[in-house]
Amino acid sequence: MSSTKSKTVSRPFTPLKRLWHRHIRRPAAEDRYLQECRGVIHVGANTGQERKLYDTYNLNVLWIEPIPDVFARLQSYIANYPKQKAVQALITDRDGQEITLHIANNAGASSSIFELGEHKDVWPDVAYSGKITCVSKTLKSLMTEPGIDPDRYDALVMDTQGSELLVLKGAEPLLSRFKFIKTEAADFEMYQGGVKLAELESFLAARGFTIIRKDSFAKREQGGACFDVVFKRT
């Protein structure tokens, strides 16, 4: 993917404001893939800003969020949605590994296992305000736990701030179950060592997925953009 856009201007909203925007919008073109789904696994839930959107499509939803206080809010917010449940976990490509999760100052929305990289070029006010230690889990392992039925979910949504490829690697035996995978991704180094869009595209293409939508939601003045990307298994 090209990252040579010149003198573009980032949209005037922070990640937190973007979440608010998501919360109130009506189902958009980028979400129409949900019409073909029976359920969604959403890794990197934050407080479940898409809960009303998923309810619009009458979907089963498994939210996954690692930050304890954010997870508590998530549970309260989905309490009135009987088809939605939440699990507290940090999903990567390994089970049982102790990992530092850096907590961002925008209600945890930009929290990551990676240090901030060129993220500051788009959102200069976002910084880390603390950190916690989590024990990692793969999506493959999580799906075997009591009370979780993998057959209820045929779409995967990821918003894990740079660790999306790790999530996919830990879920590789499950990927053939998914009709769609939606992720946030950038074509520049938002997080130090975090995945870029081209890497995700290559990994998923090798496993039968192609991009059917790519919508930019923020641009970097120095070049590059952040995208919502929807992949479909062909």
**Tens digit of each residue's pLDDT, the chain (234 residues):** 333 333 333 334 444 444 433 433 455 788 999 999 999 999 999 999 999 999 999 999 999 999 999 999 999 999 999 999 999 999 999 999 999 999 999 999 999 999 999 999 999 999 999 999 999 999 999 999 999 999 999 999 999 999 999 999 999 999 999 999 999 999 999 999 999 999 999 999 999 999 999 999 999 999 999 999 999 999
Contacts of 150 (CB under 8 A, 6+ apart): 143, 174, 177
At 30 the pLDDT is 85
* Residues 184, 138, 61, 132, Cα dihedral to 10°: -70
181 vs 230: CA distance, rounded Å? 6
Q: For residue 90, which of 101, 103, 77, 75 has the smallest C-alpha distance?
A: 101
Q: Which token pair is 193?
A: 């060592």
Domains observed in the chain: 15-233 (3.40.50.150)
234 vs 222: CA distance, rounded Å? 35
Q: For residue 61, which of 46, 82, 90 has the smallest C-alpha distance?
A: 82
At 234 the pLDDT is 92
Which helix (H) or strand (E) segment is 197 a member of?
helix 197-205
At 22 the pLDDT is 40
Q: In what order do the strands lie in the sheet with 39-43?
A: 84-87, 60-64, 39-43, 155-158, 180-186, 225-233, 209-219
